[in-house]
Amino acid sequence: EAGVTQFPSHSVIEKGQTVTLRCDPISGHDNLYWYRRVMGKEIKFLLHFVKESKQDESGMPNNRFLAERTGGTYSTLKVQPAELEDSGVYFCASSAFGQSYEQYFGPGTRLTVT
């Protein structure tokens, strides 16, 4: 069974540009989460999808971040326009209903804004 995949693995953009990160969850997982880790800090929650609906977006830092999950499969996280403080590693995770709600993480996308 394929795990959570993320694309790209690395992205380097200039301040003011737009970047879109993609996450493909484990097949059949209705729950999808985005987290990020900025330099020297702990991993922090951004938002949670249940299928295509946003269940909790309390961790989204501001309106420059837009997450979508059309069709309830893969998800995208767009940052527009990017700022220096957006640099970090963005992780995606997924989980299935009805079990332990164990979250399985992808390898992350390292975003560098210069």
Partner 1 sequence: KQEVTQIPAALSVPEGENLVLNCSFTDSAIYNLQWFRQDPGKGLTSLLLIQSSQREQTSGRLNASLDKSSGRSTLYIAASQPGDSATYLCAVRPNFGNEKLTFGTGTRLTIIP
Residues that bind partner 1 (CB under 8 A): 4, 6, 31, 33, 35, 41-45, 48, 55-56, 58-59, 91, 93, 95, 100-108
- Looking up tokens 């922090």, which residue turns up? 44
Q: Compare residues 38 and 81 and give the one whose CB is closer to partner 1.
A: 38
Q: How far is residue 34's CA from residue 55's CA, in Å, rounded to a whole number? A: 12
Q: How far is residue 22's CA from residue 19's CA, in Å, rounded to a whole number? A: 10
Write out 50-87 in H/E/C secondary structure.
Answer: ECCEEEECCCCCCCCEEEECHHHCCEEEEECCCCHHHC
Q: Compare residues 27 and 58 and give the one whose CB is closer to partner 1.
A: 58
> With contact defined as beta carbons under 8 Å apart, do 111 and 8 qualify?
no
At closest approach, how far in Å is the CB of 44 from partner 1? 7
At closest approach, how far in Å is the CB of 42 from partner 1? 5
At closest approach, how far in Å is the CB of 77 from partner 1? 16
At closest approach, how far in Å is the CB of 16 from partner 1? 27
